[in-house]
Structure 1
Amino acid sequence: MCGRYTLVIERDELEERFDAAVRGSFRPRYNVAPGQELPVITGDEPDVCRRMEWGLVPSWADDDRDGLINARAETIDEKPSFRDAYERRRCLVPADGFYEWVETESGTQPYRVAFEDDRPFAMAGLWERWEPETTQAGLDAFGGGVDDASDDGPLETFTIVTTEPNDLVADLHHRMAAVLPPDREREWLTASDPRDLLEPFPADEMRAYPVSTAVNDPSVDEPSLVEPIEID
């Protein structure tokens, strides 16, 4: 799965990389967690980075709890929670790294996966708009604790598509975020059936390194989290 990621670049770098204006507030993020509002780029507004809450709530859901943070690439056109979004509401999720956890004899060790040069990339995403029957609180099931969406009006949420791991990530986890080829990112937004884009990104340009267990706490969001550490 992909349950935490990073987006540590500055606003102007994000806008230049994705050729999209950032709407609303933005700051570098070192420990992005589900339940938080984050920038995504949608097919209906490809020149804007808009904010949505991580944890997809299907439009037909009874309430806005238990948002889905990941969608398996192999079944996104079959599962009721994702089928319509795959057909009509795909999005790019900007990032520059994601975290995975490995079980060791001394406990669970987090690793950050990123490109060798830390360049930003786009993860494949799906998004939905949920209309409350009455005013309800925003999704808080994942305990992100910051940047919650307003409870006024429709709730817009997204999920990150996952695929089989490449050779690098396979040592850490049996799934990885679907990182899109840079020259085909817009195809994810516009093609009728772009499942061929969801293959594992080649491992030879990426690196994985251990980071502080402070990343386990979603309320901690500071530069030290992305620094490599020494482990025994």
Structure 2
Amino acid sequence: MCGRLSLFAPQDELKDRFDATPVREIRPRYNVAPGQAHPVVRNDAPEEISFPTWGLVPQWADEFGGGHINARAETLSDKPSFRDAYRERRCLVLADGFYDWKKTPTGKQPYRMTRTDGKPFAMAGLWEPWQNGEHKTSFTVVTTEPNDVVGEIHHRMPVILAPEEETTWLDGDEDELRSVLNPFPARRMRSYPVSTKVNNPANDSPDVVEEVVADEDAQTGLGDFA
């Protein structure tokens, strides 16, 4: 599962890292929630960074909203909601961290997961166009089994791509695609507890990403993501 993201690396760093130009300004985000626009690099336009809505809405849906925020790597080629996008519409979801919640006896404690070097990375994603009087796009984050770091928090994690795997994800054939849908090495990741401010999407300031002492009695109104 991946239910919140952060991306506050400088825009110029992201342009250089992904060799792509944003279609609009990338502003620092510390608490990106489903239903919000977020930077991705799509396979049909790898030279640009665009801003689809997080939560994939199939083309046949009557309304735009309430989409799939995650897609299991193991069933991408089988599920109707993802099958065509997996074959034809893949993307890199840019991030420098993601959040998940560890169950405690009385609630959930949020944690932030990052690379050990703190650098931005790309997660495997799928994107989808939608048109019903207006044209919109949406995306989902592909998830897989967790590594040892994330496994202490949750039973799923996003597919984080190594830099050399990013082109494969955008342009590869089916065998090549399957080869990159693996947990990111645990030795290159860290997790740390953050405050329950992240539970509220309205909180989108630098203090959201600050490390705190884990509160095993933390309470939350955050519901489980699908």
**What TM-score do the two structures reach when normalised by structure 1?**
0.89
Match of 1:178 in 2: 159
Match of 2:84 in 1: 84
List per-residue Cα deviations over 1:101-121 (Å, max 9, x = no partner): 011234211000001121111
Match for 1:87: what amino acid?
A: R
Match of 1:207 in 2: 190
In the aligned structure 1, how far is the partner of 2:121 from the partner of 2:146? 17
List per-residue Cα deviations over 1:56-107 (Å, max 9, x = no partner): 0001112213211000000011100000000000000010110010112342
Match for 2:53: what amino acid?
A: E
List per-residue Cα deviations over 1:15-55 (Å, max 9, x = no partner): 11111001112211100100001111011110100110001
Match for 1:184: what amino acid?
A: E
Match of 2:180 in 1: 197
Tell me how far 1:195 sits from its aligned partner.
Answer: 1.4
In the aligned structure 1, how far is the partner of 2:65 from the partner of 2:28? 27
Tell me how far 1:216 sits from its aligned partner.
Answer: 0.3
Identity of aligned residues (%): 55
Match of 1:35 in 2: 35
- Structure 1 counterpart SS, 2:84: helix
Match for 2:166: what amino acid?
A: E
1:154 aligns with 2:135: yes
List per-residue Cα deviations over 1:133-188 (Å, max 9, x = no partner): x4xxxxxxxxxxxxxxxxxx211000000000001111100000000111111110
In the aligned structure 2, how far is the partner of 1:117 from the partner of 1:174? 24
Match of 2:169 in 1: 188
In the aligned structure 2, how far is the partner of 1:231 from the partner of 1:170? 17
* Contact 2:114-2:191 within 8 A present in 1 as well: yes
1:226 aligns with 2:214: no
In the aligned structure 1, how far is the partner of 2:63 from the partner of 2:179? 33
Give the number of equivalent residue pairs.
213
Match of 2:224 in 1: none
**1:67-82 equivalent positions in 2, closer than 5 A:** 67-82=67-82
In the aligned structure 1, how far is the partner of 2:63 from the partner of 2:196? 33
**Structure 1 residues not aligned, in runs of 5+:** 135-152
**Structure 2 residues not aligned, in runs of 5+:** 216-226
The match for 1:167 among 134, 145, 148 is 148
**1:6-45 equivalent positions in 2, closer than 5 A:** 6-45=6-45
1:94 aligns with 2:98: no
- Structure 2 counterpart SS, 1:31: strand
Tell me how far 1:231 sits from its aligned partner.
Answer: 2.8
- Structure 2 counterpart SS, 1:37: coil
In the aligned structure 1, how far is the partner of 2:80 from the partner of 2:62? 14
